């Protein structure tokens, strides 16, 4: 059963035909630029577009807040 209020990062990526590993790598690259607060989805989308991370920019544009948060948390887990 899919919980729309608490999606897994895998489900969030799949819902938008995105690769979770690519999203996490691109999220991390945007984070390292320091260009925006990672909780600012619009800022992350803009930074991703400037860098040329089309997959991340499209995911941010199309995802729900819950899906965005799930993938962002996964990026953080992978950094640990």
Asked if pLDDT for residue 7 goes beyond 90, the answer is yes
- pLDDT tens digit sequence for 10-51: 999 999 999 999 999 999 999 999 999 999 999 999 999 999
Average pLDDT over residues 46-64: 98
Q: Contact, 18 vs 58, CB < 8 A?
A: yes
What is the residue extent of each domain of the chain?
A: 9-79
pLDDT band at 5 (very low <50, low <70, confident <90, very high): confident
Q: Given this model, what pLDDT does residue 1 score?
A: 43
Distance between CA atoms of residues 37 and 43, nearest Å: 7
């Amino acid at each position: 059963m899919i919980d729309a209020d608490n999606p897994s990062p895998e489900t969030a990526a799949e819902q938008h035909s995105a690769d979770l590993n690519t999203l996490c790598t691109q999220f991390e690259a945007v984070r390292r630029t320091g260009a925006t607060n990672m909780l600012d989805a619009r800022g992350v989308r803009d930074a991703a577009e400037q860098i040329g991370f089309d997959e991340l920019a499209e995911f941010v544009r199309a995802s729900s807040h819950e899906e965005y948060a799930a993938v962002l948390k996964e990026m953080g887990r992978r950094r640990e």
